[in-house]
Amino acid sequence: MPSNAQLQARREAAVPRGVSTMHPRFIERASNAEMWDVEGNRYIDFASGIAVLNTGHNHPRVIEAVKAQMDAFTHTSFQVNPYRPYIELAERLNAIAPTGQPSKTIFVTTGAEAVENAIKIARAHTRRKAVIAFKGGFHGRTMMGMALTGKVQPYKAGFGPFPGDVWHVPFPIDYHGVSEAQSLAALDSLFKADVDPADVAAIIIEPVQGEGGFYQASASFMAALRSLCDEHGMLLIADEIQTGFARTGKMFGIEHSGVRPDLMTVAKSMAGGFAIAGVIGKAEIMDAPAPGGLGGTYGGPPMACAAGLAVLDVIRDERLCERADAIGDLIKRRLLDLKRTNSLDCIGDVRGPGAMIALELVKKGDADQPDADLTKALVVDCAKEGLILLSCGIRSNVIRFLVPLTASDDLVNEGLDVLARNLTRLAV
């Protein structure tokens, strides 16, 4: 069996450097919230493959559903010969979508593709071109995805020009002194100086910014956006790619606000590790594109649809929304106890709904002094002791916790013990 170092050398020779790898540890097998690499080293997974494994690695019900579908057939393309799992998954999602109206769903392959199609649908319905997004937001690496994304490094640098008629305004973040009033004022200024709201097709927002740093939009801010959209005939698109499927303690992140979106993008944890994404929206809006205007060869693959149906069953039967709240409470309590007990002024903020928790690291307790070096060192050193973490944030100083919702308290505490040891040592 080749070692991690040998495989890394082969990876560097065969794969372009633009595909970065945070942890050069090559996984051989995984179960629930644990992984083992090719050298037999064990890891506790606090990353979930970037928020993909809310139901954990290899959930038995997901694997069983996929195996059954594989025995039947693996591909026909829904646009050539349709199949039942696609319809059944669409029906299940339409029934739980918080749009408040009859809904329809299209399936694609990736989150970025879902975002692209949501914009297409919004433009087809409104017959307008402009789109408004938020600074710090992340919406994918395709050209429109990058245009919408509000973070230059490493996602946008060197790849322009990007599609036009995309505008950005500040996302309200109290911790960094950006109030909801300031964000709404920026929207008002945008409408007066740069783009007529009558030309805007949609506003797209993550209910909790993912790559941007796990900042949550408040209920009042979401309500204000809903009012603006209604006033000007714009659509409200909730990007639920990272917040969906029980991660925040609700099936979808926007449900914390009570606001009803017109369209939603979904992906990541919707199929337990199998590649599928989608757009869910109000039926009359989803029907705006003409036949042939939407689709893709691999959109809604049979095995991923089968997995998605199993994931919905697991979330319901194992009460993973409630479990997300319990895991989040545990993580936040441990982090705040660590800050208080050890007087760690590097812990600037601990936040997040459900099990979508962020730890923001700063210097001397100052929100204006992000500590990206400490954040990077913590990720590296924890991995050496068997804990896989992810960082994020515009300033690269946020640790994001994405523990599988099927993880036990004992396993979560074991991982937090590793983090506590390393953070205490590094902060000295």
Domain boundaries, the chain: 4-58+319-426, 73-317
pLDDT tens digits, 156-210: 999 989 999 999 999 999 999 999 999 999 999 999 999 999 999 999 999 999 9
pLDDT tens digits, 312-351: 999 999 999 999 999 999 999 999 999 998 889 999 999 9
Report the percent of the chain where pLDDT is more than 70: 100
The predicted structure's pLDDT at residue 342: 87
Residue carrying the six token digits 């690695």: 57
User: Quick one: average pLDDT of 23-31?
Assistant: 96
The predicted structure's pLDDT at residue 1: 83
Q: Are 320 and 55 in contact (CB under 8 A)?
A: yes
Q: Do 4-58+319-426 and 73-317 fold alike per CATH?
A: no
The predicted structure's pLDDT at residue 168: 98
- For residue 76, report the phi and psi dihedrals to the nearest 5 degrees: -135, -15
Report the distance separating Cα 192 and Cα 163, nearest Å: 22
Q: Is 105 a residue whose pLDDT tops 90?
A: yes
What is the CB neighbour count within 10 angstroms for residue 20? Answer: 7
237 versus 155: the higher-pLDDT residue is: 237
| Lowest model confidence (mean pLDDT) among 50-54, 127-131, 175-179, 424-428 | 424-428
Q: Is 411 a residue whose pLDDT tops 90?
A: yes
3-class SS of residue 252: coil
Q: Supply the pTM of this predicted model.
A: 0.96
Report the distance separating Cα 280 and Cα 50, nearest Å: 22
Superfamily of structural domain 4-58+319-426: Aspartate Aminotransferase, domain 1 (3.90.1150.10)
Strands (E), 41-177: 42-45, 103-108, 130-134, 166-169
User: Quick one: average pLDDT of 265-287?
Assistant: 98
Q: DSSP string covering 279-330, please?
A: EEEEHHHHT-SPTTSS--TTSS-HHHHHHHHHHHHHHHHTTHHHHHHHHHHH
Q: Is 22 a residue whose pLDDT tops 90?
A: no
User: Quick one: average pLDDT of 349-372?
Assistant: 97
User: Quick one: average pLDDT of 76-104?
Assistant: 97
Residue carrying the six token digits 């993550």: 206
Report the distance separating Cα 64 and Cα 371, nearest Å: 44
Q: Going by C-beta distance under 8 Å and a sequence separation of 6 or more, which residues neighbour residue 189?
A: none
73-317 placed in CATH 1.10.260.30 = no
- For residue 406, report the phi and psi dihedrals to the nearest 5 degrees: -95, 0
**What is the separation, in whole angstroms, between the first and last Cα of the chain?**
39
- For the chain, give the mean pLDDT: 97
Radius of gyration, alpha carbons of the chain: 21
Report the percent of the chain where pLDDT is more than 90: 96
Report the distance separating Cα 362 and Cα 346, nearest Å: 5
3-class SS of residue 7: helix
Beta partners for residue 391, in sequence order: 399
The predicted structure's pLDDT at residue 356: 98
User: Quick one: average pLDDT of 212-217?
Assistant: 96
User: Quick one: average pLDDT of 381-394?
Assistant: 96
